[in-house]
């Protein structure tokens, strides 16, 4: 993988769901609700090179978020494999951030979780807090935040440094125009540093602006993978 950021080969992800939660009396009688296997990804194969920005499109339920979560290792693949050059940042450290802590304290924890030492965290913290645009709310507990405020915080922490591989799931769909512009500029800076970006979004204008290549997922399968204009034209016509 000399010039590859990630390689996905025949990756499959399956879920087993049941029609309802079983009652204890039913379990004691040996009765279990019917199980259904869901194939979220079906033999997905693609390469992404270092420095590429790749958009991922498809309708709801097509497997886009599942693909990103499998790439980070949050979801195991049931077949095939996904190899990465370094640990991807899925908006950095969402699993580490804590609702009961303030935005500022969450920034500290998030930066420490990325491997920064105390001095580096103290140096970066003011600029990350300012980037969020949360104002005085940065010192309020995250449980009081709206979904948009949380997304700002996650994005700011994840992109405070330049991870080799950044996975973004609808992160640019929140916030006002000013935050959109700041986010787009930061992604441009990331790509200029040879960072690799996978961007899942329903905002096709943002995909066109940010990505030179697009993967179109449908029902867990890759329908098309190629230049942005070509794939989006086919996707919009479908």
Q: Give 126-184 pLDDT, tens digit per residue.
A: 999 999 999 999 999 999 998 888 888 988 888 888 788 888 887 665 567 788 788 88
Q: Give 8-53 pLDDT, tens digit per residue.
A: 999 999 987 665 566 566 656 666 655 678 888 999 999 999 999 9
Q: Which of 36-45, 58-67, 190-199 has the highest mean pLDDT?
A: 58-67
Burial class (CB in 10 A: 0-12, 13-18, 19+), 176: exposed
Q: How far apart are CA 73 and CA 52, in angstroms?
A: 21
Q: Which residue has the tokens 């095939």?
A: 80
pLDDT of residue 92: 43
Q: What is the DSSP letter of 86?
A: S
Nearest to 94 by CA among 164, 183, 167, 186: 167
pTM of model > 0.85: no
């Amino acid at each position: 993988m000399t010039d590859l950021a990630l390689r996905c080969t025949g990756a499959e992800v399956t879920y087993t769901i049941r029609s309802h939660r079983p009652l204890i009396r039913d379990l004691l009688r040996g009765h279990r609700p019917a199980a259904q296997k869901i194939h979220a990804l079906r033999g997905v194969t693609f390469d992404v090179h270092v420095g590429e920005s790749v958009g991922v499109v498809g309708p709801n339920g097509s497997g886009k978020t599942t693909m990103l979560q499998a790439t980070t290792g949050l979801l195991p693949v049931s077949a095939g494999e996904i190899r990465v050059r370094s640990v991807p940042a899925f908006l950095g450290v969402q699993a580490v951030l804590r609702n009961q802590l303030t935005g500022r304290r969450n920034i500290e924890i998030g930066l420490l979780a990325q491997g920064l030492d105390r001095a580096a965290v103290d140096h970066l913290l003011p600029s990350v807090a300012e980037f969020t645009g949360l104002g005085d709310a940065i010192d309020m507990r995250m449980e009081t935040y709206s979904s948009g405020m949380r997304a700002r915080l996650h994005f700011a922490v994840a992109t405070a440094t330049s991870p080799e591989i950044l996975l973004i799931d609808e992160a640019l769909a929140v916030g006002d125009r000013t935050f959109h512009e700041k986010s787009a500029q930061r992604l441009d800076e990331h790509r200029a540093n040879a960072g690799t970006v996978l961007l899942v979004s329903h905002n096709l204008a943002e995909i066109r602006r940010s990505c030179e290549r697009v993967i179109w997922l449908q029902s867990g399968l890759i329908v098309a993978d190629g230049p942005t204009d070509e794939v989006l034209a086919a996707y919009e016509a479908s």
